[in-house]
Amino acid sequence: MWCGNIRRRSAGCQQRGFWPSFLEASVKNAHTISSQSPISPSPPQSEQEVDKISLLVFITFSVRSQDIRNTVGNIPMEWYKDYPHIGYDLDGKKIFKPIRNKDELDEFLDKMENPDYWRTVQDKMTGADIRLSDEQVDLVHRLQQGKFGDVNFNEYEPAIDFFSNEVMIHPVTNRPQDKRSFIPSLIEKEKVGKLVHAIKMGWIKPRRPKETTPQYYDLWAKEDPNSILGRHKMHVPAPKMKLPGHQESYNPPPEYLLSEEERLAWEQQDPEDRKLSFLPQKFACLRAVPAYSRFIHERFERCLDLYLCPRQRKMRVNVNPEDLIPKLPKPKDLQPFPTTQSLVYRGHSSLVRSISVSPSGQWLVSGSDDCTVRFWEVSTARCLKTVEVGGAVKGVAWNPNPSICLVAVSYDDTVVLLNPGLGDRLVCTATDQLISSYEEPEEVMDQSVQWAVAEGEGHEQGHRLILKHPKAVRQVTWHGKGDYLACVMPDNGSSLQVVIHQVSKRRTQNPFRKNKGLVQCVSFHPIRPYFFVATQRYVRVYNLIKQELTKKLMANCKWISSMAIHPGGDNVICGSYDCRLAWFDLDLSTKPYKVLRHHKKALRSVAYHRHYPLFASGSDDGSVIVCHGMVYNDLLQNPLIVPVKVLKGHTITHDLGVLDVTFHPTQPWVFSSGADGTVRLFT
């Protein structure tokens, strides 16, 4: 600020308004110094300071000579701007501003004409114009240049070090040394005593010996030099390159050069198909060979190869696919089982829905949609008897008791018990007597099924008892003792889906009060008083004595079609419409022990053999699959299931193939009935 103002002024831009501030500052300095100077008239002041003071003294003196001393003190003089006076003098009288009537023109004229205009400044304290002397102008100039105000001041005088690194002969001070510098320190002694005490007490432990083991060790120091290292084993040698031949030469024999057609063919080929990766070229001399144009490209590809090269040798797993197959005995070792079609029982004109074999194994009964039931001789395929009934036959079941000769036939809403009159004559007559000897009980029970004795022509044909049900009967099945007969009437909305008849007492009971889904088939346990009910997805096992649900088997399939109980009673197979056959081990779990998916289409029927470890399934794809299903007496051993034979013979009619399968009671033979109206025997 200080310098800038002065410079501006020296540049000729003379604004008078700035000058008072300059002077005010200088006056202020003059004041402070002047107030100081009487107190400390210390002679060793620098020359510069002396010079400054002299200048200010001079200025104050020049003001004093007019004897106008302003007493307002160090205040901004703007405060007096609007007043006619500018302050007060020592006597307390107003110091009036000098009359300034100069206008702009006068100012301009003064500037033009007055040669001292540039060195004239206004004193703010008094408002008077002052003309600066030459010395003052010089001083201002020097200060403007950043020099000291005093001309004679040498700022670069040689410095004298009083305290230097050099040891002097004489001390800096003359003071004698203290006494304490000659006697041992008590504080130190106390400190040492404390340390010694701490060491004695064991508070301070001696420093731990330094660890001698090095921080870094040789990784390969203990390596056995004779062992084959993994790294060496993994070494993949680079493929051997072919040595360059004549074709790669810069001057190949002419037969290696490609003709025009060959060259065109080469260019049209895919780069991968080319036999040669380059075109052989001929140059007169090695100097004429140009730089390799694909150099960068090739280097890049080489880098890419190195980068993408597999760093690990892939251990190829050499597994023989044969080993992955579970070890199963060969079907050859599981003889006997049915292998070939032996007999065809022809006679039905429509699809045969159900078949059953007599307990002796001599006769076969089949029920068909042509409203007939036929009895066949098993060994010759001779139809011995045809019985007409009043509707398409849905189910037939031969009484398993060898001392009773009865066949249950279901059609529409009726179940008829037939006496076929085959087999032992005594048994047949005994059966007739058993039925006719029935006596009506005193109190007639209200039953949902009406029992009637067949008479007239029906009796001639073999009809003995007629059971009228409220709904269509789909399946009939006998209990192993031959007295109870279960019938299935599938119905989604009613609780009357399964009824159990007792033939000797002509009684009917409905074992279930609730509807738990559409019943597909039912079966009696061969030994124990259990009853199996298969609904669409579950098989429920009921205890008939305790009258409670014992087990619920989850079949994991969409729609169960058929069910068979192993003669041992601990295993159940279920066929389903989604081509699966589920084997349940009742002791194991409620989930299937094994699920077989060998059929291509929906399963219609499954059956167990009574003695041989065989089971069979018939499907809509026209085939019967026979499996070996060995159940061991040892509870720890799971059943062995091996599919052994696919039996084909039935032709597919209306998208239906095999509708029922059943085994011969004594021989390893399986019967199947089909939609083509035949029954076939496989042996």
Partner 1 sequence: MSQVQARFFTENKKYLIDDVPFSIPAASEVTDLSGVINKLLEAKNDGHKHVEFDFLVQGQFLRTSLASRMETENISTEEVVEIEYVEKFTAPQPEECVMHDDWISSVEADSEWILTGSYDKTARIWSMEGKAVMTVAGHTDVNLYNGLSSLLLTASLDQTIMLWEWNSERNKVKARHCCRGHAGSVDTVAVDPTRTKFCSGSWDKMLKIWSAVPTEEEDEIEEPNRPRKKQKTEQMGLTRTPLMTFSGHNEAVSSVLWMDAEELCSASWDHTIRLWDAETGGQKNTITGSKVFNCISYSPLCRRLASGSTDRHVRLWDPRSKDGSLVLLSLTSHNGWVTAVRWSPSHEHQLVSGSLDNVVKLWDTRSCKAPLYDLAAHEDKVMCVDWTENGLILSGGADNKLYTYRYSACVLDAGA
The helix (H) or strand (E) run that includes residue 139 is helix 134-144
Chain centroid to CA 231: 35
Q: Applying CB under 8 A, which of residues 114, 342, 637, 651 lies at the interface with partner 1?
A: 342
Minimum CB separation of residue 683 from partner 1 in Å reads 5
**Which is nearer to partner 1, 143 or 430 (by Cβ)?**
430
CB of 434 to partner 1, least distance (A): 18
To partner 1, the closest distance from the beta carbon of 461 in angstroms equals 16
CB closer to partner 1, 357 vs 553: 357
The token pair at 503 is: 């033939």
| Part of the chain binding partner 1 (CB under 8 A), chosen from 322-330, 377-385, 471-479, 491-499 | 377-385
Query: Among the candidate windows 215-223, 374-382, 480-488, 652-660, which touches partner 1 by CB under 8 A?
Result: 374-382
Write down the least CB distance from residue 411 to partner 1, Å.
27
User: Which residues from 421-450 bind partner 1, rule CB under 8 A?
Assistant: 423-426
Binding test (CB under 8 A) with partner 1, winner from 302, 382, 600, 611: 382
The set of residues, in sequence order, having a beta carbon less than 8 Å from that of 85 and lying 6+ positions away, is 94, 95, 96, 97
Residue 401 is a binding residue for partner 1 (CB under 8 A): no
Are 396 and 356 spatial neighbours (Cβ–Cβ below 8 Å)? yes
Residue number with CB closer to partner 1 (297 or 382): 382
Per DSSP, 179 falls in state G
DSSP 8-state code for residue 98 = P
Report how far apart, in Å, the C-alpha atoms of 172 and of each of 53, 159, 161, 169 are. 36, 18, 13, 9
Question: Which residue number, 590 or 667, has a Cβ lying nearer to partner 1?
Answer: 667
State which of residues 132, 257, 384, 595 lies at the interface with partner 1 (CB under 8 A): 384
Closer to partner 1 by Cβ: residue 358 or 497: 358
Closer residue to partner 1 (CB): 556 or 667: 667
Structure tokens at 617: 């399934």
Contact call for residues 602 and 657 (beta carbons, < 8 A): no
Scanning 515-589, the segments in alpha helix (DSSP H) are none
From 380, 494, 637, 651, residue interacting with partner 1 (rule: CB under 8 A): 380
Residue placing its CB nearer to partner 1 in the complex, 48 or 666: 666
CB of 424 to partner 1, least distance (A): 5
Min dist CB 675 to partner 1, Å, is 24
Tell me whether residue 343 or residue 563 sits nearer to partner 1 (CB atom). 343
In the complex, what is the shortest distance from the CB of residue 619 to partner 1, in angstroms, rounded to a whole number? 25
Q: Which of 327, 316, 321, 248 lies closest to 282 in space, CA to CA?
A: 248
* Nearest approach, Cβ of residue 676 and partner 1 (Å): 19
User: Binding segment for partner 1 among 239-247, 334-342, 348-356, 549-557 (CB under 8 A)?
Assistant: 334-342
Interface with partner 1 (CB under 8 A), residue from 77, 343, 418, 533: 343
Q: How far apart are the first and last CA of the chain?
A: 129
Q: Which of 249, 360, 550, 590 binds partner 1 (CB under 8 A)?
A: 360
Q: How many CB atoms lie within 10 A of CB 354?
A: 24
Q: Please give the Cα distance from 148 to 344 (Å, whole number).
A: 141
Beta strands 594-596 and 623-630: pairing type?
A: unpaired
Closest to partner 1 by CB, 45 vs 342, is 342
Q: Would you tell me how many other CB atoms lie within 10 Å of the CB of residue 678?
A: 20
Sheet with strand 614-619: strands edge to edge: 603-608, 614-619, 623-630, 640-648
The answer to whether the CB of 639 falls within 8 A of the CB of 583 is: yes
- Buried/exposed 604-616: b ≥16 CB within 10 Å, e otherwise: bbbbbbbebbbbb
Residue 336 touches partner 1, criterion: CB under 8 A = yes
Nearest approach, Cβ of residue 377 and partner 1 (Å): 8
Per-residue burial over 63-101, b = 16 or more CB atoms within 10 Å of its CB, e = otherwise = beeeebbbeeeeeebeebeeeeebbeeeeeeebebeeee
Rounded distance, CA 201 to CA 204, Å? 8
**Residue 335 near partner 1 by CB under 8 A:** yes
Residue 549 to residue 602: CA distance in whole angstroms: 29
Of 5, 120, 362, 653, the residue at the interface with partner 1 (CB under 8 A) is 362
Member of 373, 381, 407, 408 binding partner 1 (CB under 8 A): 381
Rounded Cα–Cα distance for residues 411 and 354 (Å): 11
Candidates 136-144, 379-387, 519-527, 567-575; binding stretch for partner 1 (CB under 8 A): 379-387
CB of 679 to partner 1, least distance (A): 15
Would you tell me which residues interact with partner 1 (CB under 8 A)? 335-336, 342-343, 360, 362, 379-382, 384, 423-426, 666-667, 683
